[in-house]
């Protein structure tokens, strides 16, 4: 299969099953943002690959990239074809796994007493970039669920993205901790 088909040259693209939509549609924007998030996580995973003490965090990123790919497939499928194509959003079990991981990581980190800036090391700031893209993806899905309220599974997807952004915040702190990077406190420029 070739990379280009010319079928999108008129500003339309196809969902799974062939239904055509404008590339400016909310559904296309939603799964495009999920794809963007996945690419940002891929960039972060590449940064972490081979770094001493970060192998487990790298593996966790790859796991979430797979979940995001599944979410993108779900969003690219018309609701009446979800069963046919077996595309589903991340499950509540995956959300629970993120929560357990967050809780475990937070147990090893110093408690937060101040807001922190998304900086300190390129790996840390990259994780925060991913966090902000996850929040945008979540906002897109909230909007999509307002427009397509019959798609009940969107609630699960919204919950997953909400928890993933929390996970990425703590992930950034874990990366910094493992690298021995001091967190930069908001409003205190002399601590950088």
Residue 141 has pLDDT above 60, yes or no: yes
Looking at per-residue confidence, does 14 or 77 come out higher? 77
Kindly state whether residue 16 falls inside one of the protein's structural domains.
no
Kindly state whether residue 81 falls inside one of the protein's structural domains.
yes
Kindly state whether residue 178 falls inside one of the protein's structural domains.
yes
Residue 4 has pLDDT above 90, yes or no: no
Closest CA to 39 of 114, 121, 134, 105: 134
Report the pLDDT averaged over residues 172-181.
97
Report the pLDDT averaged over residues 140-164.
92
| CA quadruple 123, 132, 171, 31: dihedral, nearest 10 | -100
Residue 60 has pLDDT above 60, yes or no: yes
Asked if 75 and 33 touch (Cβ cutoff 8 Å), the reply is no
pLDDT at 192: 45
| Number of Cβ within a 10 Å radius of residue 144 | 21
Kindly state whether residue 53 falls inside one of the protein's structural domains.
yes
pLDDT at 9: 62
Q: Which helix (H) or strand (E) holds 13?
A: strand 12-14
Kindly state whether residue 162 falls inside one of the protein's structural domains.
yes
* Structural domain span for residue 33: 22-185
Could you give the CA distance from residue 28 to residue 160 in angstroms, rounded to a whole number?
19
Kindly state whether residue 8 falls inside one of the protein's structural domains.
no
pLDDT at 80: 84
Kindly state whether residue 3 falls inside one of the protein's structural domains.
no
Residue 190 has pLDDT above 80, yes or no: no
Query: What's 57's domain CATH number?
Result: 1.20.1200.10
Q: Into how many domains does the chain fold?
A: 1
Asked if 176 and 121 touch (Cβ cutoff 8 Å), the reply is yes
Residue 157 has pLDDT above 80, yes or no: yes
Whole-number average pLDDT of the chain: 90
Report the pLDDT averaged over residues 21-36.
87
Report the pLDDT averaged over residues 121-146.
97
The least confident of 14-23, 83-92, 102-111, 135-144 is: 14-23
**Share above pLDDT 90 across residues of the chain, in percent, rounded to a whole number:** 70
Residue 192 exposed, middle or buried by CB count within 10 Å (0-12, 13-18, 19+): exposed
Residue 24 has pLDDT above 90, yes or no: no
Q: Distance from CA of residue 181 to its chain's centroid? A: 24
Kindly state whether residue 127 falls inside one of the protein's structural domains.
yes
Query: pLDDT of 76-130, one tens digit each?
Result: 998 888 888 888 889 999 999 999 999 999 999 999 999 999 999 999 999 999 9
| Number of Cβ within a 10 Å radius of residue 191 | 11
DSSP conformational letter for 30: H
């Amino acid at each position: 299969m070739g990379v280009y088909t010319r079928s999108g040259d008129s500003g339309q693209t196809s969902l799974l099953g062939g239904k055509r939509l404008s590339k400016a549609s909310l559904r296309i924007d939603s799964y495009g943002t999920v794809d963007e998030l996945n690419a940002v996580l891929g960039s972060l995973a590449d940064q972490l690959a081979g770094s001493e003490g970060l192998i487990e965090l790298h593996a966790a990123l790859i796991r979430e990239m797979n979940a995001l790919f599944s979410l993108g497939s779900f969003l690219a499928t018309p609701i009446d074809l979800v069963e046919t194509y077996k595309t589903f959003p991340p499950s509540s079990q995956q959300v629970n796994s993120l929560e357990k991981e967050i809780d475990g990581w937070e147990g090893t980190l110093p408690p937060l007493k101040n807001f922190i800036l998304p900086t300190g090391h390129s790996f840390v700031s990259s994780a925060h970039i991913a966090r902000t893209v996850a929040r945008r993806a979540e906002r897109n899905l909230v909007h999509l669920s307002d427009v397509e309220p019959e798609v009940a599974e969107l609630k699960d997807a919204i919950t997953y993205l909400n928890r993933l952004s929390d996970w990425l915040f703590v992930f950034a702190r874990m990366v910094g901790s493992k690298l021995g990077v001091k967190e930069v406190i908001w409003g205190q420029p002399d601590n950088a």
